[in-house]
Structure 1
Amino acid sequence: MKVRVKFQKEGPVKFVGHLDTLRYFQKSMRRAKIDVAYSEGYSPHMIMSFASPLGVGLTTEGDYFDMELKTSSSSKEMIRRLNNTMAEGIRVLSIRQIPEEKSSNGMALVCACDYLISFREGMGFRDGWKDHVCRFLLQEHIFFEKTTKKGTREIDIRPLIYQMEVRGKTIFLQLSAGSVNNLKPEIVLDAFSAYLGETFSPYAFLIHRLEIYTDLGKDGEHQFVPLECLGTEIE
């Protein structure tokens, strides 16, 4: 049986890296007595895969990993047992069974993510920045220099920004994600800062991921659906 687990990660645990988060959940599965399936071979390991590993220092209320179970209790019971083992700041929000016809791993399904950007005290944009968000998006192209092992190349990130809007004192972003066109919110913030003619410390912004989506649209039309919606609760 394949299940998809949705969890949040906030507070000091945001500084725990991806590999340590993976090990943490493996230990939590054992403590909660979740009957996880193991791989075969000389070095068996729990069959788990994360949809889109989060960068160190970012918080989330919508991250996912998939895992294989040999047997299961109800979703509510597994959530209760897991959360009883969790450290402060990490909490399992849902566990849903994934049907065979939708059993592609979460990482292969990811196409977009929502983020909420806030500012550290005294480190925000200058007054009037909210009026420039719409103008920034009205640009036909937004170029950014991307550095890779092969060198530096200029890419147009405008098609990868699906939404950008002001929400009170924060910025909401919906960006392309996944293995092909993955746009980090830090890049958008850098591009917007350059548009305003300002330079910011990377520590000026607090980035919070809200949700991860797959795309059920056809013929070029997007229909973004949260990854958990592809599964059903186990009774």
Structure 2
Amino acid sequence: MKARIKFRKNGVMKFIGHLDIMRYFQKAIRRAEIPIAFTSGYSPHMIMSFANPLGVGLTSDGEYFDIELTESIASKEAVRRLNEQMVDGMEIVSFVQIPDDKKSKGMSIVAGADYLSSVKNGSLPEDLAEKLEAFYAQNEICVVKKTKKSEKEVDIRPMIYKLECRDGKIYMRVAAGSVQNLKPELVTEAFVRYLGMDAEEVTFTHHRLETFAESENTESKMILVPLNALGTEIV
């Protein structure tokens, strides 16, 4: 039996890296007495996988990880027990059962994520909505993506699914996952350069609102649904 856990990560917890977050949840699951399954062998470990780990410095309302259970536990009870073990900045939102097949694994089905980006330093033009609309209307938005070994120019426009102004902040829905993954920093940096400014003049904080999977549909239009929508509550 497999379960998907959704959690929020805010406050000082944004400075904690993925490996430490994983260790944190391993301890919390033990203390909450969640019946999690372990691998076999000489060095057994909890069967746990994160959908799309968040970068250091970002906050989120839509983080997910999957676990395997040895026995059933009610969703509400699991959420209650886990939240009793959470520290400030961490909150369990939901606990749902997901299909046992490998195709349902969170890390393999992530297709998108949405973010709300707020100005940290500097300022944006008063006509932000109009400028964003014009920026998004471009046929190409080319940026230089850096890896450990090389740099290459990439057109990120096809990876931006939605871009608009919300209460003076930049809302975006972008590609995420193993096939395509667009960091919000690349979008805001490209936008600042589009405005004719240096990327260091205006910096942002990024908050992930949700993580999505692509829903099955008969049309060519892509439909994204939150990862926890693909599970069912355990009673």
Please confirm whether the aligned pair reaches a TM-score higher than 0.5, indicating the same fold: yes
List gaps (5 residues or longer) in structure 1: none
Percent identical residues:
49
- Counterpart residue type for residue 194 of structure 2: Y
The equivalent of 1:74 in structure 2 is 74
The equivalent of 2:25 in structure 1 is 25
- Counterpart residue type for residue 182 of structure 1: N
| 1:88-111 alpha-carbon deviations (Å, 9 max, x no partner) | 110000000002357521010000
Query: Where do residues 79-94 of structure 1 align in structure 2 (5 Å cutoff)?
Result: 79-94=79-94
2:73 is paired with a residue of what secondary structure? coil
List gaps (5 residues or longer) in structure 2: none
RMSD between aligned residues: 1.6
Report if the CA contact (8 A) 1:102-1:230 is conserved. no
Alpha-carbon distance between aligned partners in 2 of 1:96 and 1:228, rounded to the nearest angstrom: 7
- Counterpart residue type for residue 2 of structure 1: K
The equivalent of 1:51 in structure 2 is 51
The equivalent of 1:152 in structure 2 is 151
Q: 1:130 to 1:20 in 2, by over 3 A?
A: same
| 1:93-146 alpha-carbon deviations (Å, 9 max, x no partner) | 0000002357521010000001011122x5222443332111101110111111
Cα offset, 1:152, TM superposition: 1.9
- Counterpart residue type for residue 9 of structure 1: K
- Counterpart residue type for residue 138 of structure 1: A
Query: Where do residues 1-235 of structure 1 align in structure 2 (5 Å cutoff)?
Result: 1-101=1-101, 104-120=104-120, 123-201=122-200, 204-216=203-215, 217-218=217-218, 220-235=220-235
Moved more, 99-108 or 75-84: 99-108
Q: 1:118 to 1:32 in 2, by over 3 A?
A: same
- Counterpart residue type for residue 179 of structure 1: S
After TM superposition, what 4+ stretches of structure 1 lie above 6 angstroms from structure 2? none
2:104 is paired with a residue of what secondary structure? coil
Cα offset, 1:221, TM superposition: 1.5
Alpha-carbon distance between aligned partners in 2 of 1:152 and 1:119, rounded to the nearest angstrom: 27
